[in-house]
Amino acid sequence: DGGITQSPKYLFRKEGQNVTLSCEQNLNHDAMYWYRQDPGQGLRLIYYSQIVNDFQKGDIAEGYSVSREKKESFPLTVTSAQKNPTAFYLCASSPGGTSNIQYFGAGTRLSVL
C-alpha cells in the first residue's frame, strides 16, 4: 500500500526535552513538508524539502529542525527552544513537477506534560 506514515500518533514532551516525529513515504515523491495545525487555524508550514539533502524554512521554523538524508524520510525534531509545541503536526509529500497536490499522513498530536 502506497502512502505516508507518521509516528507516533500521540507524543508527550517534558519541559526541556527534544522530541522527534517520524514521517516516511513510499510514493517516490520528491517533495516533503511539515505543517503545524492549531485549533481554528489552517496549516502553517514549518519546513519543506524538494530534494534529498536540501530543505528550506517555512513560515514558523523557529524551534524546529529537520533532515532529509533519504528520499523516503523527513523527520521533524521539536526542540526545547519551541516554547509552545502543543499542536497537531502533519507531514505531506508531493510529486512536484506541474502538480501542486500534496498528500498527507495521519498526523501526530504533540502535548506538553
Partner 1 sequence: EDKVVQSPLSLVVHEGDTVTLNCSYEVTNFRSLLWYKQEKKAPTFLFMLTSSGIEKKSGRLSSILDKKELSSILNITATQTGDSAIYLCAAGWDSNYQLIWGAGTKLIIKP
Query: Per the structure block, which three cell numbers stand in for 99?
Result: 502538480
- Give dist(CA 33, CA 92) in Å, integer: 5
- Closest by CA to 49, choosing from 34, 27, 28, is 34
Q: Minimum distance between the CB of residue 99 and partner 1, rounded to whole angstroms?
A: 8
The size of the interface with partner 1 (CB under 8 A), counted in residues, is 22
CB of 81 to partner 1, least distance (A): 24
DSSP per-residue codes, 93-105: EE--TT----EE-
CB atoms within 10 A of CB 1: 4
Query: Given the complex with partner 1, which of 75 and 107 has the nearer CB atom?
Result: 107
Residues 27-66, one symbol each (x = binds partner 1 by CB under 8 A, - = not), give ----x-x------xxxxxx--x-x----------------
The Cα 75–Cα 33 span in angstroms is 10
Q: Which stretch binds partner 1 (CB under 8 A): 13-21, 61-69, 74-82, 103-111?
A: 103-111
Site of interaction with partner 1 (CB under 8 A): 31, 33, 40-45, 48, 50, 90, 94, 96, 99-107
